[in-house]
Chain A
Amino acid sequence: MILSALVYPEYYGLPLPITAVAVYTSAIASVIIFLVALRGKVKPYGVGIWGFLLSLLRGYRRWPGYIYDIALHRRLLRTRGRHGVGHALMIYGLILSFIGTMLVALNQYLGIIFGYRPYSGQLFLDYSFVMDLTSWILFVGSAVGALSLLSRLKNYRLNEAASYLIYLLGFMFLSVSGAVIEDYRVYALGLTGYLGYFPNAELLGRISLSTQAYVAIYYLHFLTAFALIAIMPYTEVAHSYLNLLNYSTRERASGELSKPFDLKSVMQSGNYEVKVGLKSYKDLDWAGALNPQACVGCNRCEEVCPATAAGRELSPTRLALKLKRGISSLSDDLFQTISEEEIWGCTTCGACMHACPVYVRHVDYIVDFRRSLTFGMKLDSKKSGLLMNLNQYGNSVGIQNQGRNAWITNEFGVPRASESSGFKYLLWVGCMNSFDERAKGSVRSFLELLKDSGELGEYAILGDEETDCGDPARRLGEESLFQNFALNNIELFKKYNVKNIVVMCPHGYNTFKNEYKDIDKWMEGVNVYHYAEIIDRLVKEGRVSVEKTNEAVTIHDPCYLARHNSVVNPQRELINAAARLVEPERHGRDTFCCGAGGANYWYEVNEKSRISHIRAKQLYDTGAGKAITLCPFCNAMLNDASTVALNGKLEVIDIASYLAMSRKKGSDIIGQPK
C-alpha cells in the first residue's frame, strides 16, 4: 500500500449514517446533561451556570500557573508520589486521547468540506503509535489509581468510592476497547505491513471478532466516553473542574484572611448588624461553598499537618471531607460534625493549603468557624484572656504598654517617631520582642548590626505608641479588634509618613504586608521588610562582614515568613555566609510549624505530643547542634522544647544574634542576655 493512500478509517465497518448520527447525538447529549447537572449542583449556592463559567474565564490570568501545576503534577508528586504518578499517567493518557479524538474529528470535517484529510500518511501512523502507548498509559494510570483508592478506602463513603471506581474502570475499558477496535481495523484493512506503528495490534495478534461484536464494542466505547462526561457533576470527579475554579478564584495570598466586614464603614453607617463567621452553608458565598467540594480525600494535607502529627483532634483531610459533605447536603449547622476542638487545633501554618492538589483553603474555613465561636462569645478562659489583654493593654502579653520600648531608646538611642527629625525605616519591634527578656536579645543583636553598618541613624520606633499588630486577634476570630488595631496603626503610619517598615516578627510582617492593604489602600505604598531581609542586604552590600566557620547550623523557617510569604533565600544566604547549612527535611516553603501560630501560643489544645517537640526533634536530627529562628515565638517554643524534650541539646538562636556573633574582627557575643 502507498503511504499517502493511508487515511484514518473513520466509521470503518460501521453502519452509516446511523453511527455518525449516534456519535454526534450522544456527544451533544453528554454536554447538555453535563451542563444541566452542573447547574443543579451549583444552584443552591446562588450561582447560575453562566456565573460559574464566567468566573473560570475571568480567572484567565491564573491559567498559565494552573496549567503549569497540572502539567508537572507538582503538588501531586511532592507528597504521596506513587499515587501522584498514577494520577499523572491517567491525566496524560486522557489528554493524548483527547488530542487523538480531535484529530479524527478534524480529519472528518476537513475531508467533507475541503476534501483534505490531514490525518493520513505518516502523521496517521505516528499518532496511531502514540495512541497505542496512550492505551497503556491510561490503563496503568487507572490501575494505580484503583490501588491508591483501595489504600485509603476509609476516607470514603460507599457512593463516593463507587463513583471513583466507575471512572477508573471506565478508563480501563476505554483503553482496552480502543485497542481491540484498532486491532480489528488493522487486520481487516490489511495494514499488517505497518505493524510497527500498531504495537498493540501486534501484541494482541488477530482477534477473531464478528462484525456484530466489533460494532457493539465500538458503540460501547464511545457511549462510555460520553457517559463519563455527562455524569461528572454528580460524581467525585467533579474535582477535575472545581480545582480550576479554586485556582481561578483564589486571589488572596495564603497568609491573608478574608475580611467579612469593613469596620470603618460599619462605624460610619452605624449599622452594626453584620454577619460574621461560619455555621451554615448559607454563610458561604458560592465559590466558598464549592471550594472544599473539590476535595478528593487524598490525605496529602493530613500528612503535612503539624496538628495531626501531634495527635490533636484536627485532621485537615477529615475537616475538608466534613465540609464537603456538610455543604453539599446543605447543612445549616456544620458544627454537627465539626468540633470546636478541631477548630482550635489549627496553627494556621498553611501546610495543608500548600499541599492540596485541588487548592482547598482549609484555613479560611477554620478561621471563619472561629469567628462564629468568638462572636458567639464561646471562648474558654485562656482565649478570653488573650482578648482581654489585647483590649486592656493593647498588647498580647498583658503587660502595661507604657514604656514598652524605652529600653531601645535608652540603650541604642533609637528615637521615637514622634521625636525623630526624619527616618527611613520604622522598626516595628513586636509584643514578644518588646517585653520578653530572651526576645529582647535578638532585637539588641539586630540593633548592633545596624549600628555596625552605620544605618542605625535611619531608624525610628513608635515607643509607647506601638501596640499590637492585630494578628493574634484576627486568628482568634476577633475580626473587629483586628481591624481596630489595623486602623489605629495605619493612622500612626500615616501621621509619621512611614514608607518602610522593618518588622521583627513574621506575624506582623505578614499582616502589614498582606492584610493591611485590604483595610486601607494607602498601605500599598508602604514597603514591609522582615529583619532578616535587612541583614541580608547589609551583608551583601559589605556593610556588615561576617566570618565563615565550619559549624553545622540548621534553619527553622517560620510558616508566616517562608510558606505564606515565600521568603526563603535571605536566611539561607546569611547562614551560608557564616556557617555550614544543614537542612531539615521540612524546610523552606515546606517548613513544619513550631506550634505557636494562629494564636496557639496563648491557649492549650488536647494533644498527644507537642508540635514544638516534634519540630525540635526534626531540627536536632539534622545533626546540627544549632537551630536558627527568625521569629520570637518560634524561638521561645523551640527553646522550651529543647530544654524539656532534648535536655537542651539543641541550641536555639535567633538569626540576628547568630549573625552578630559571626561578625568579623573579634566581635564579642552581644545581644544575648548575660
Chain B
Amino acid sequence: MYVALNILVFLKAIPEDVKEDPRTHGPTVEGVKLKMDDISRNAVEEAIRLKEKHGGRATGITFGSDAATLVMKEALAMGLDEGVLIKGYAGNNPSLTASVLAERVSRMQWDLLMFGFSSADSYTAQVPPMVSYMLKRPLIGNAVSLRVEGKTVKGVSSYEDYNVAYEAEMPAVISVAQEINTPRIPTLLQIMAASKKPLSVEQAQAQSARTLQVLGHTFPMSQRKRIIFEDTNKGVEEVAAVLRQVLGK
C-alpha cells in the first residue's frame, strides 16, 4: 500500500567551473555562474519519482545565496512542490551546513530527507551523515536504488566492490549515488513557469559549529606531459606511438 510521503530534498548550487584568478594564478570561482550540483539533481529526481509513485509532497531546501534562486527554480520546474532558500552560506563548511540544515528540518514534518551523497564542488560527503547524526535518524548512504513500503524505506547502498541492502523506519535520511537515475531536464519555459511555485527565502539561524579553516586554494600539481596532438587525421597513430614509448613497449 502506498502512503503519501512528505519528502525534503537538499540541493546545492555550485559554480559551473573554476577559473584562474588573473592576479594570484590560483583557482577562483568569483563571478562564475551557478548550476545545480550534479548529484543533487539525482536526489531531486529521486524525490520527485517517489512522490509521483506514492503521492505526497516534495520540498527542496538549499543553503546558499540569492544566486541560488535560479537553481531552485530549476528544481521546482523538475517537479518539486515548493522551495526553501536559506541564506547565509559563506563557503564550504560541512559541519556548519549540517547544523543549519538539521536545525531547519527539526522544525518540519517529513518522512524522507534526501541528499546527493556528495556535491561536485567540494566532494566531502560529510553533510548527510552529520545531519543523520544530529537528528538521530538512520542514514542509507550512497543509495543506488530506493523503495518505500508502508513506513519502511528500503535502499541498496553501493560500495566499491559490493552492494548492501538496508531498510530503515521512516523518517530516514538518504543520500543517493549518481547511478540511481537519469534526472529529467526541464525546459527554459518550465523553469520560467516555476516562478509561480512557492519559494520562501529566509536567513540561516546562527549556528555554532566546529569548523575547518580554509587556508587557500591551489590547482593540483600536474604531472602531465602536455603533448598536444593537432592533426586529427594522424591522431590515433601518433597517440599510439607515444603510449608505446611511455609504456616501454
Contact = CB atoms under 8 A, between A and B. Distances in A.
Interface residues of A, number: 31
B162 to A, nearest CB: 25
B185 A377 contact: yes
A389 to B, nearest CB: 11
Interface string A425-456: 00000000000011000000000000000000
B138 interface: no
B16 A392 contact: yes
A381 B41 CA distance: 13
Given A384-B182, A392-B16, A392-B35, A481 B188 contact: yes
Contact of B230 (A374, A391, A478, A673): A673
Contacts of B193: 272-273
Interface string B1-43: 0000000000000001100000000000000010100000000
B65 interface: no
The main secondary structure of chain A at its interface with chain B is helix
B184 A381 contact: no
Contacts of B95: none
B55 interface: no
A437 B230 contact: yes
Contacts of B186: 377
A384 B231 contact: no
Given A377-B78, A380-B182, A674 B188 contact: no
A535 interface: no
B171 interface: no
Contacts of A267: 192
B187 A381 contact: no
Contact of B231 (A261, A381, A480, A674): A674
B185 A274 contact: no
A400 interface: yes
Interface in B227-245: 230-233
Interface in A254-300: 261, 263, 266-267, 272-274, 276
A148 interface: no
A381 B182 contact: yes
A378 B188 contact: no
A376 to B, nearest CB: 9
Nearest to A384: B185
B196 interface: yes
Interface string B167-207: 00000000000000011111111101100100000000000
Contacts of A437: 230, 232
Contacts of B233: 438, 639, 673
A462 to B, nearest CB: 19
Contacts of A480: 187-190, 192
A388 B16 CA distance: 11
A224 interface: no
Contacts of B190: 272, 375, 377, 480
Interface in A367-413: 374-375, 377-381, 384, 387-388, 391-392, 400
A380 B192 CA distance: 22
Given A272-B196, A392-B16, A478 B187 contact: yes
Contacts of A484: 188
Nearest to A400: B17
Contact of B184 (A266, A378, A481): A378
List the 4 closest pairs (A to B, CB-CB), nearest first. A272-B193, A377-B184, A480-B189, A480-B188
Interface of A: 261, 263, 266-267, 272-274, 276, 374-375, 377-381, 384, 387-388, 391-392, 400, 437-438, 478-481, 484, 639, 673-674
Given A438-B233, A480-B187, A673-B232, 13 more contacts: A267-B192, A272-B192, A274-B189, A375-B190, A377-B78, A378-B184, A380-B182, A384-B182, A384-B184, A392-B16, A480-B189, A673-B230, A673-B231
26 contacts: A261-B189, A263-B189, A272-B190, A272-B193, A272-B196, A273-B193, A375-B187, A375-B190, A377-B186, A377-B187, A379-B184, A384-B182, A384-B184, A392-B16, A392-B33, A400-B17, A437-B230, A437-B232, A438-B232, A479-B187, A480-B187, A480-B190, A480-B192, A481-B187, A639-B233, A673-B233
